[in-house]
C-alpha cells in the first residue's frame, strides 16, 4: 500500500497581499485599509487597554499613534508560513518626540521589534496574535538602564 504524502500549501499571493496591506495601513496612514483585509470579527490578541474589538479597535490605535508620531512606520523584515497561517517579523519605528507609555520624550529615533502570527480565511485575516518589545523602548529611551540587575 502506497502512502500519499499530504503537501503543505504555501501562502497564496492573495494572502501575502492581504498581510502587506494590513501593514501599509500604518505607512499610508489609511486605517480604513483594514476593512479590506480583515474579517468584521477579526481578533487582535491581546487587546491594548481600552481597545475596541475588531478592526475598529486597531483603526483607532493607528489614527492616534500616527497623530502622535507622524513618522511611525512598520517595516516588515520577514513573512513566512503556510496557507491560512503566517508569521511576520517586523519593527515599529518612530521619533520619540512625545511622551509614550509614561516615558518622557527623547527626540530619539526608536525601533521596537514586532512579532505577529496571522490566521487567514478566504484571503482575509481572522486573528492576529502579536508581541511588541516595549521593553526595548525603555532601553532606547534611557528610561531604564538595567542598573541593579545582578547586584548583591
Could you state, in order of their start, the residue ranges of all structural domains in the chain?
13-141
What percentage of the chain reaches a pLDDT higher than 90?
Answer: 86
Pair 88, 78: CB distance under 8 Å: yes
- Segment holding 61, helix H or strand E: helix 54-68
Closest by Cα among 45, 47, 44, 46 to 34: 44
Where does the pLDDT of residue 32 fall: very low under 50, low under 70, confident under 90, or very high at 90 and above?
very high
Residues making up the chain, counted from first to last:
152
Task: Give the helix, strand, coil percentages of the chain, each rounded to 5.
Answer: 30, 35, 35
Instruction: Assign domain 13-141 to its CATH architecture.
Output: Roll (3.10)
Closest by Cα among 124, 116, 119 to 36: 124
Q: Which residue has the cell 496571522?
A: 118
Q: What is the DSSP letter of 125?
A: E
What percentage of the chain reaches a pLDDT higher than 70?
Answer: 93
Mean pLDDT for 4-21 is: 90
User: What would the grid cell of residue 140 be?
Assistant: 532606547
Report pLDDT digits (tens) over 71-121. 999 999 999 999 999 999 999 999 999 999 889 999 999 999 999 999 999
Pair 44, 7: CB distance under 8 Å: no
Give the per-residue pLDDT at 101.
87
Diameter over CA atoms, the chain: 68
Amino acid at each position: 500500500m502506497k502512502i500519499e504524502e499530504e503537501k503543505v500549501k504555501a501562502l497564496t499571493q492573495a494572502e501575502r497581499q492581504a498581510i502587506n496591506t494590513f501593514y501599509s495601513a500604518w505607512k499610508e496612514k489609511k486605517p480604513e485599509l483594514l476593512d479590506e483585509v480583515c474579517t468584521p470579527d477579526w481578533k487582535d490578541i491581546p487587546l491594548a487597554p481600552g481597545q475596541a474589538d475588531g478592526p475598529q479597535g486597531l483603526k483607532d490605535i493607528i489614527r492616534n499613534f500616527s497623530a502622535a508620531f507622524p513618522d511611525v512606520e512598520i517595516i516588515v523584515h520577514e513573512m513566512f508560513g503556510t496557507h491560512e497561517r503566517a508569521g511576520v517579523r517586523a519593527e515599529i519605528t518612530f521619533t520619540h518626540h512625545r511622551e509614550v507609555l509614561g516615558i518622557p520624550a527623547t527626540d530619539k529615533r526608536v525601533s521596537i521589534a514586532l512579532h505577529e502570527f496571522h490566521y487567514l480565511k478566504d484571503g482575509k485575516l481572522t486573528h492576529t496574535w502579536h508581541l511588541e518589545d516595549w521593553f526595548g523602548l525603555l532601553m532606547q529611551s534611557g528610561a531604564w538602564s538595567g542598573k541593579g540587575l545582578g547586584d548583591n
